[in-house]
């Protein structure tokens, strides 16, 4: 096929660096003389079936660079989760427009969409090269050391908890911060990188990789509150009991469900409120506050990792190189080499599609309420340069006069 047409789209939740990958595809594609046109589909796969395309060939390099440094999805995104019939419609549109290369930037569901479209092209004997470009703040793609979007979100979480800890130290009490993560606790675990001194919070970290027991939780909070006179807690939205039931369902009288039938974990403060109410009523602690980070952690413009920016750009560039020089479809993966450097590989789509990575056991302490030094060593290089630091006054007490 010699049409020289490329189509790129973005799917799933936006991130702080997903546009770097988009621009990486566009600018790298311009380096190949066989590429004639680069189209972008607005709002992901929905834009493909609706033939809602924009011609990115007409974009200036300067504006593309400006867009690259802007968080969120410049083309728009979608939460559509295509089945076989949906993917067959996608393939029909790709054929009609004579698309030779299709790049889809997204997470687990996006990789599965790419797999199905690839299979349709092979079945039809249509010469289409399909590449999945990784993206997700959850860091839950199989086969990669980490995923673009996660480091910047982790940087936000670490800094947010560092700030919450300072606030909590000034006005002691219990603070609960709920972080995104239905099945993987990487983002919640990033809260530990906000600690500087041994008694800093978060004092307790709960991730979906471990069963959450409400009685043990209350005992943990009581212990930390008595030890420090306060307690800062980081909690994944996806914490669950031994049966797998989300804790928010266990504590709430009613819960919402999303379009796919899953319990709605993001977009509301139910879990934080319920945990705070439980702590107040069961432990009798008066000052208990909670926050749900929600969408703030995904595209926060003032907290982007320079490492994340660079790698998000490079996975877009490598996707084009794999497509132009290679002979197979696949998913781009980041592989760590040395103390901190990376290389890129193209993994078979079946290796990644529809699968979920969770935190390694070595990253979680035996008690299940903190992370290990192995996780800190894993995450710290990803957070990037110029991480802010917190300091304390030296305590030099003045002798009392009236109350000796």
Q: Are 129 and 34 in contact (CB under 8 A)?
A: no
Rounded Cα gap, residues 272 and 265, in angstroms: 11
Give the Å distances, CA to CA, from 337 to 334, 341, 361, 363, 372.
Answer: 10, 5, 21, 19, 21
Cα Dmax for the chain: 92
> What does DSSP assign to residue 190?
G
Q: For residue 314, what are its two tokens? A: 């490079």
Beta-bridged to residue 232, according to DSSP, are 175
Active-site residue, from 80, 112, 138, 329: 138
Handedness of CA 111, 113, 115, 118 (dihedral sign): negative
Active site residue 138: yes
**Buried/exposed code over 132-154 (b: 16+ C-beta within 10 A; e: otherwise):** bbbbbbbbbbbbbebbbbbbbbb
Handedness of CA 134, 136, 141, 145 (dihedral sign): positive
Annotated binding site: 13, 108, 136-138, 180-182, 237, 295-298
Annotated binding site for diphosphate: 13
Residue among 139, 143, 182 nearest 375 (CA):
139
Annotated binding site for Mg(2+): 108
- Name, in order, each residue with C-beta under 8 angstroms of 258's C-beta and a sequence gap of 6 or more: 79, 264
Angle formed by the axes of helices 18-29 and 306-325, to 10°? 40
Q: For residue 281, what are its two tokens? A: 């009523």
Tokens 């340069």, residue located:
385
Tokens 């990575």, residue located:
357
Would you please indicate which residues are annotated as catalytic (active-site) residues?
138
């Amino acid at each position: 096929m010699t049409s020289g047409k490329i189509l790129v789209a973005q799917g799933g939740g936006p991130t702080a660096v997903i546009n770097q990958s988009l621009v990486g595809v566009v600018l790298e594609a311009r380096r190949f003389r066989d590429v004639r046109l680069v189209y972008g589909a607005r709002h992901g796969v929905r834009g493909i079936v609706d033939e809602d395309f924009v011609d990115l060939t007409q974009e200036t390099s300067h504006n593309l660079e400006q867009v690259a440094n802007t968080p969120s999805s410049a083309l728009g995104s979608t939460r559509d989760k295509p089945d076989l019939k949906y993917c067959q419609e996608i393939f029909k549109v790709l054929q009609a427009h004579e698309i030779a290369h299709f790049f889809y930037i997204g997470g687990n569901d996006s990789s599965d969409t790419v797999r199905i479209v690839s299979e349709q092209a092979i079945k039809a004997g249509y010469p289409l090269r399909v590449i999945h470009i990784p993206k997700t703040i959850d860091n839950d793609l199989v086969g990669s050391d980490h995923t673009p979007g996660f480091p910047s979100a982790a940087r936000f979480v670490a800094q947010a908890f560092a700030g919450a800890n300072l606030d909590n130290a000034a006005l002691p009490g219990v603070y609960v911060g709920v972080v995104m993560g239905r099945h993987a606790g990487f983002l919640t675990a990033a809260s530990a990188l906000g600690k500087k001194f041994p008694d800093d919070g978060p004092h307790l970290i709960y991730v979906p990789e471990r069963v959450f027991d409400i009685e043990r939780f209350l005992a943990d909070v009581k212990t930390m509150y008595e030890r420090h006179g306060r307690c800062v807690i980081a909690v994944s939205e996806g914490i669950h009991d031994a049966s797998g039931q989300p804790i928010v369902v266990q504590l709430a009288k009613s819960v919402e469900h999303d379009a796919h039938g899953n319990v709605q974990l993001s977009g509301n403060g139910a879990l934080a409120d319920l945990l705070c109410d439980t702590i107040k009523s069961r432990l009798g602690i008066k000052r208990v506050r909670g926050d749900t980070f929600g969408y703030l952690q995904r595209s926060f413009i003032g907290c982007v990792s320079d490492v994340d920016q660079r790698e998000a750009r490079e996975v877009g560039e490598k996707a084009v190189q794999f497509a132009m020089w290679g002979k197979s479809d696949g998913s781009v993966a980041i592989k760590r080499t040395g103390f901190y450097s990376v290389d890129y590989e193209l993994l078979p789509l079946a290796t990644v599609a529809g699968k979920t990575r969770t935190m390694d056991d070595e990253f979680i302490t035996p008690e299940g309420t903190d992370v290990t030094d192995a996780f800190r060593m894993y995450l710290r290089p990803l957070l990037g340069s110029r991480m802010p630091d917190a300091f304390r006054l030296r305590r030099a007490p003045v002798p009392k006069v009236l109350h000796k």
